[in-house]
Amino acid sequence: MFQAKRLVPVILIMVAAMLSSCGINNIPRFDEAVNASWSEVQSQYKRRADLIPNLIETVKGFAAQEKDVLLEVVEARSRVSQMNVSPEILTDPAAFEQFQQNQGALSGALSRLLVVVEQYPDLKSNENFLKLQDQLEGTENRISVARRDYIQAVQRYNTELRTIPGRWWRQFMYAESTRKELFKADADEMEDIKVDFTKTE
């Protein structure tokens, strides 16, 4: 009887070791990795949104007549800021697509603003604008990296849900786990770049 009592902890340790090596914890671990990656995506998008008011004010000082472009950026930022980004967005295709569209609209508006800036040499050489432009460029790079990391985390998580033994563990222990949404290429990114090499006299 005494020996049987001593064997119970050993058996429990062996069972725990076997379970941990068979992927029982993969789904929650991969889910946490997705959530952490998503937080980084949101953080970088917020960083970009926070830069925009200063950028608008700087551009306004030199190019007040570009009201349409400035308004487009302000409205796009407003749509991004007003979105309710709950944790459920990752499993809701429509909400995720809306999030991506709003962020894509803001990216497009900022790109158009920076093209307009090319027409204003004084603005292009303004120290404050150059600093903001550098920060914005750095943030766009961080957004790209954060999105890439998120996509990789989601791919790993979604694959675990669809393959064995993850499918089994999901069925028996993690029934609430559902696939997460991935970013899709923006329409602007998919368009062919048209270059006209014909000479005009």
Burial degree of 189 (CB within 10 A; 0-12, 13-18, 19+): exposed
Higher-confidence residue of 16 and 24: namely: 24
Q: Taking Cα atoms as reference points, which of 43, 89, 101, 85 lies closest to residue 181? A: 89
Q: Name the residue among 178, 183, 196 with its Cα closest to residue 27.
A: 178
The helix (run of H) or strand (run of E) holding residue 53 is helix 26-62
Calculate mean pLDDT across residues 172-191: 79
Residue of higher predicted confidence among 21 and 193: 21
Amino acid 185: pLDDT = 72
Structural domains for the chain: 28-187 (1.20.1440.20)
In this prediction, residue 192 has a pLDDT band, given cuts at 50, 70 and 90, of very low
Least confident segment among 12-21, 66-75, 177-186? 12-21
pLDDT over 60 at 31, yes or no: yes
pLDDT tens for 106-135 read 999 999 999 988 889 998 889 999 999 999
**Token pair in block for residue 8:** 């119970």
Contacts of residue 60, defined as CB under 8 A and 6 or more positions apart, other chains included, come to 70
How much is the pLDDT for 198?
A: 41
